[in-house]
Amino acid sequence: MSSGLLTTESVLQAGQKLLELRPVEEVFHSILEIAASAMHAETALVLLRTAHDYEVAASRTVAGQTRGLGDISLSLLNESISTNRALLTESAVEDPRFSGRSSVILQHIQSAVIVPLTGRAGVEGALYLDSRSDRDLFRKENLSPLSTLAAFATLAIENARRFESAKREIATLMSADISRFLVGDSPVMQELYAMIDRVSPHDLPAMITGESGTGKELVAREIHRRSLRQGKPFLALYCGNVSPELFESELFGHKKGSFTGATLDKQGLVEAAEGGTLFLDEVADIPLSLQAKLLRFLQESEYRRVGDTETRRANVRILTATNKELQSEIQQQRFREDLYFRLYILPVHVPPLRDRLSDVPVLTHHFLRRMKGHVTGISPEALRRMLNYSWPGNVRELENTVARAAVIARGDRIEADDILHQGLTKVSADEDDVSWRAAEKKHILKVLSLVGGNKSRAADLLGISRRYLHYKLKEWNEG
């Protein structure tokens, strides 16, 4: 069998097809169909990380068989996931990295390729391809286009999950379960609730600011829920994950034939959110070339699909969020000042968790109830440790910490020893700098050291995004 070859054109066509899908099962099926067909692979799997292992989300074989974790080379998979690098062996039995490994020998794997699926929360899984009959099937020149395809696939999976989550949340709202968006009764949260009450009834754009992990999207959903648009769609787009080439199509849609891979007319998010709310997360990452078109839509409520001459109108409220200093982005000419003034009409600031530590107990119990496991409480000592920490990763870091502790706990409550978190110790008062910024830096650098400098692993343990980790390391000149 001749080796497969992915071209730039085929990757773009595949990426466009994936981004048009919504049910996650269809996304998985298409990823495997595209990758296996292009590479002539006999086995193709989409593998997702779980708390302790991996799960096969979808599988495809030439013979129509179902493959599981026991049928692949876990040694190859673990190396690719741990390093967050695509890994290819053109002849596994002769490759000095893998020759002699039982997983390669027992499964008769001749050649294999694994490409990590890296999303907002780090490495979420991998695309796995192998051949058991051809030793020279895969080629190194395929690694780059495969990595691009994996990026499209990860974005498509995240979009599909958001779509399904939105459907579930609409059903929840319709059943009057409205208590699960925001949690906390601290003074700063009471101020936030009051601001949401004032902002929600209006149709003006609102900009939600705050650090990564504070729950800006939850605030956006709460604003929508309390608005007159609550019965209409709420759609969210994470701007940092969309390539500049596809951003306009994702936002405004495109006409069939408008570019390579545009095989069908596509409805954009602006059109899909008609009558409702569109939330643009990390709005500072919108390409500069598209900012003028977004500004025109905000001013006129008009837009055009890519490749179309027809001007369309949409009745959509725009909410945005960012953890960047937009004034600095404007000075660096990465963000339009006129767009900033159009978006920054109703500012809503989400406080960091260190400013509302009194909410840690109620948040902890909220997460435990949502997990519905055997752990239902937390010991006083464990709670004291959690209250003596500054939580640089905010609510997201707390949720991940509670989830890990609930898995480790032997009884029905979390004990102090169950909290596997190096940073949960009180900052000493006799240190030169006792500010939360110093504690955040010390903790992040310590975790990074513990994982040998692996940024993806460190971000996962901290419960923060890889983007935020890179931002802080750059700020400290530790990159």
pLDDT by residue (tens digit) across 250-289? 889 888 877 777 778 888 899 999 999 999 999 999 988 8
Helix (H) or strand (E) holding 323, with range, is: none
Q: Model-level pTM greater than 0.75? A: no
- Structure confidence at residue 63 (pLDDT): 66
Q: DSSP label at 357? A: G
How is residue 115 written in tokens? Answer: 């490409």
Count of alpha carbons within 13 angstroms of residue 79, beta-carbon side: 12
Q: Which parts of the chain have pLDDT scores under 50?
A: 1-2, 105-106, 172-180, 425-432
Q: Report the distance separating Cα 84 and Cα 79, nearest Å.
A: 8
Q: DSSP label at 306? A: B
How is residue 27 written in tokens? Answer: 């996304």
- Structure confidence at residue 241 (pLDDT): 76
The answer to whether the CB of 87 falls within 8 A of the CB of 130 is no
How is residue 425 written in tokens? Answer: 């110790």
The answer to whether the CB of 267 falls within 8 A of the CB of 308 is no
- Structure confidence at residue 50 (pLDDT): 76
The answer to whether the CB of 80 falls within 8 A of the CB of 113 is no
Closest CA to 44 of 127, 144, 123: 127
Closest CA to 124 of 90, 153, 91, 163: 153
How is residue 477 written in tokens? Answer: 């000149």
Q: Report the distance separating Cα 84 and Cα 81, nearest Å.
A: 5
- Structure confidence at residue 70 (pLDDT): 66
Q: Using N-to-C axis directions, what is the helix angle for 216-225 and 187-199, rounded to 10°?
A: 50
How is residue 39 written in tokens? Answer: 């590479």
Closest CA to 221 of 355, 315, 321, 154: 321
Q: DSSP label at 405? A: H
pLDDT by residue (tens digit) across 365-404? 999 988 888 999 999 888 888 888 889 899 999 999 999 9
Closest CA to 324 of 442, 446, 200, 470: 470
- Structural domains in the chain, CATH included, are 8-151 (3.30.450.40), 178-349 (3.40.50.300), 353-475 (1.10.8.60)
Q: Report the distance separating Cα 415 and Cα 402, nearest Å.
A: 11
Q: Using N-to-C axis directions, what is the helix angle for 455-462 and 466-475, rounded to 10°?
A: 110
Edge-to-edge strand order for the sheet containing 43-49? 54-61, 43-49, 122-131, 111-119, 87-89
What does 144-170 look like in DSSP terms, one character per residue? Answer: HHHHHHHHHHHHHHHHHHHHHHHHHHH
